[in-house]
């Protein structure tokens, strides 16, 4: 193996793309900041049990583990930042019993990629709101999510909505075990109503519940799905509450194209309610995903209502506005000793000053701005195009 080779699904980011990503990251953090979200930087590595690997099978499979040479305990390299932010809200910010708005932007590492075209090192960006259980908080986060994905070009953005509460209410009412619920959730993803019906028939469920579960994979489409669900699903309080929350989101975005899918349940185990995602018209997968995960903080000592979203900023590569390379000022290396003060002054003012050794600089072949001494003063002079 060559020493320069990288592991599969791991890649370098070169200067022009890195500039685009960093510019997008700065815009996103500025967007979060003006909406009241404070930046946090959780560590890349923690004790594995703190990363919720013991309660979320999917997250556990993604987490890379190593042994801590100092304590001998098992460490995990984070595969998702959301549990870390929940820990921060529950423990480090426990003095605040009101709302905490937190955001983040950092790398995570996956033992396996989520898909053939996915990286194992996503650059996860997201925002979370803790301390308010009302659907208004979900609407705030959905609005922020839609504004976030607009920094890149994904075509027309579709807002996709679901609600794990509908399935959970039916599963509880039907008396399904945790294992049965997980098995049925997996079947729901294929939208195969016949397979779902065959499974619930095999469990000999009451006909009303068997019919309801078989109906769920067919309840997808536009806003009209909500009325159909009210007409055809069992009249359970939790189901009605979930449909009311979905209706509130639809009402909050009257001009937005919305797709509702009551069997769209691809979530982490910690999600508890409303689910939302943004899809681009020319993108094969969701650009961003989010949802409600009330109570996640109980694993860190403080259960709190919470909602939030995140996305992989690396997915934006190739869709971000072109970032112009910084126009630099060249100064001949033989002049540096004398021009040092002038160079540092220009850099302090935000100018890029590059020492010219007479060879090409970072792939840039020329510049028309040079620092030269004229009439006893160092000045930036516009010159003819010269090789750098």
**387: in domain:** no
User: How many domains is the chain built from?
Assistant: 3
Query: Would you call 191 helix, strand, or coil by DSSP?
Result: coil
Q: Which helix (H) or strand (E) holds 12?
A: none
Are 124 and 19 in a shared domain? yes
Tell me if 128 is assigned to a ligand binding site.
Answer: yes
Q: How many whole angstroms separate alpha carbon 34 and alpha carbon 147?
A: 12
| pLDDT per residue as tens digits for the range 298-312 | 888 889 999 999 999
Tell me if 20 is assigned to a ligand binding site.
Answer: no
Rounded to the nearest 10°, the torsion over CA 353, 356, 359, 362 is: -10
Are 149 and 160 in a shared domain? no
Contact 78, 49 (CB under 8 A): no
Are 43 and 101 in a shared domain? yes
Q: What does the DSSP 8-state code read for residue 121?
A: S
Q: How confident is the model over 277-295, as a mean pLDDT? A: 91
Closest CA to 290 of 315, 308, 304, 306: 308
Six-digit token string for 127: 């925002």
Range of the domain at 45: 1-153+288-324
Tell me if 367 is assigned to a ligand binding site.
Answer: no
Closest CA to 236 of 180, 166, 294: 166
The share of the chain scoring above pLDDT 70, in percent, equals: 94
pLDDT at 137: 97
Are 314 and 297 in a shared domain? yes
Are 269 and 126 in a shared domain? no
Q: Which helix (H) or strand (E) holds 240?
A: helix 237-252
Are 256 and 165 in a shared domain? yes
End-to-end Cα spacing for the chain: 37
pLDDT at residue 386 above 60? no
> How far, in whole angstroms, is CA 291 from its chain's centroid?
11
Q: How confident is the model over 185-197, as a mean pLDDT? A: 81
pLDDT at residue 100 above 60? yes
**Helix, strand, coil proportions of the chain in percent (round to 5)?**
40, 25, 35
Q: How many whole angstroms separate alpha carbon 114 and alpha carbon 310?
A: 15
pLDDT at 388: 41
| pLDDT per residue as tens digits for the range 133-159 | 999 999 999 999 999 999 999 999 999
CATH number, position 173: 3.30.930.10
**48: in domain:** yes
What are the backbone angles phi and psi of residue 175, rounded to the nearest 5°? 75, 30
169 vs 284, residue with greater confidence: 169
pLDDT at 182: 83
Q: How many whole angstroms separate alpha carbon 226 and alpha carbon 103?
A: 32
Tell me if 80 is assigned to a ligand binding site.
Answer: yes
**318: in domain:** yes
Are 313 and 185 in a shared domain? no
Q: How many whole angstroms separate alpha carbon 375 and alpha carbon 377?
A: 6
Tell me if 82 is assigned to a ligand binding site.
Answer: yes
Long-range own/partner contacts, residues 187-190 (CB < 8 A, 24 or more apart): 188/216, 188/217, 188/263, 188/265, 189/263, 189/265, 189/266, 190/217
| pLDDT per residue as tens digits for the range 262-280 | 987 665 667 889 999 999 9
Tell me if 307 is assigned to a ligand binding site.
Answer: no
Are 218 and 334 in a shared domain? no
Are 180 and 169 in a shared domain? yes
β-pair type (100-107, 306-312): unpaired
Q: How confident is the model at residue 28 (pLDDT cuts 50, 70, 90)?
A: very high
Please state whether 301 falls in left (phi above 0), alpha (psi between -120 and 50) or beta: left
pLDDT at 150: 94
The share of the chain scoring above pLDDT 90, in percent, equals: 62
Six-digit token string for 101: 């708005």
Q: How many whole angstroms separate alpha carbon 228 and alpha carbon 237?
A: 16
Are 29 and 168 in a shared domain? no
β-pair type (220-221, 258-261): antiparallel
Q: How far is CA 117 from CA 9, 212, 279, 289, 311, in A?
A: 8, 36, 17, 18, 15
**388: in domain:** no
């Amino acid at each position: 193996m060559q020493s320069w080779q990288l592991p599969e699904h791991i890649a370098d980011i070169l200067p022009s793309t890195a500039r685009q990503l960093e510019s997008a990251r700065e815009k996103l953090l500025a967007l979060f900041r003006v909406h009241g979200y404070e930046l946090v930087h959780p560590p890349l590595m923690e004790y594995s049990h703190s990363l919720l690997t013991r309660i979320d099978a999917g997250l556990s499979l993604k987490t890379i583990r190593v042994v801590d040479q100092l304590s001998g305990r098992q460490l995990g390299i984070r595969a998702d930042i959301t549990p870390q932010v929940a820990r921060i809200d529950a423990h480090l910010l426990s003095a605040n019993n009101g709302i905490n708005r937190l955001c983040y932007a950092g790398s995570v590492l996956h033992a396996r990629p989520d898909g053939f075209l996915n990286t194992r090192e996503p650059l996860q960006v997201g925002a979370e709101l803790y301390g308010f259980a009302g659907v208004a908080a979900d609407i705030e986060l959905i609005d922020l999510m839609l504004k976030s994905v607009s920094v890149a070009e994904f075509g027309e953005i579709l807002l996709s909505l679901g609600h794990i509460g509908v399935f959970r209410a039916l599963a509880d009412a039907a008396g399904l075990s945790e294992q049965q619920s997980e098995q049925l959730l997996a079947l729901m993803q294929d939208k195969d109503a016949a397979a779902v019906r065959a499974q619930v028939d095999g469990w000999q469920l009451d006909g009303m519940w068997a019919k309801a579960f078989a109906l769920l994979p067919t309840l997808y489409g536009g806003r009209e799905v909500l009325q159909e669900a009210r007409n055809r699903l069992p009249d359970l309080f939790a189901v009605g509450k979930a449909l009311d929350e979905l209706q509130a989101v639809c009402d909050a975005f009257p001009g937005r194209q919305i797709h509702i899918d009551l069997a769209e349940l691809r979530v982490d185990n910690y999600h508890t309610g409303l689910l939302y995602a943004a899809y681009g018209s020319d993108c094969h997968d969701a650009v961003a995903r989010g949802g409600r995960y009330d109570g996640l903080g109980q694993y860190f000592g403080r259960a709190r209502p919470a909602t939030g979203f995140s996305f992989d900023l690396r997915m934006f590569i190739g869709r971000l506005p072109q970032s112009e390379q910084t126009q630099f000022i060249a100064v001949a290396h033989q002049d540096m000793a004398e021009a040092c003060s002038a160079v540092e002054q220009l850099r302090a003012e935000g100018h890029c000053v590059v020492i010219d050794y007479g060879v090409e600089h970072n792939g840039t072949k020329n510049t028309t701005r040079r620092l030269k001494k004229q009439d006893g003063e160092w000045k930036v002079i516009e010159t003819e195009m010269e090789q750098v």
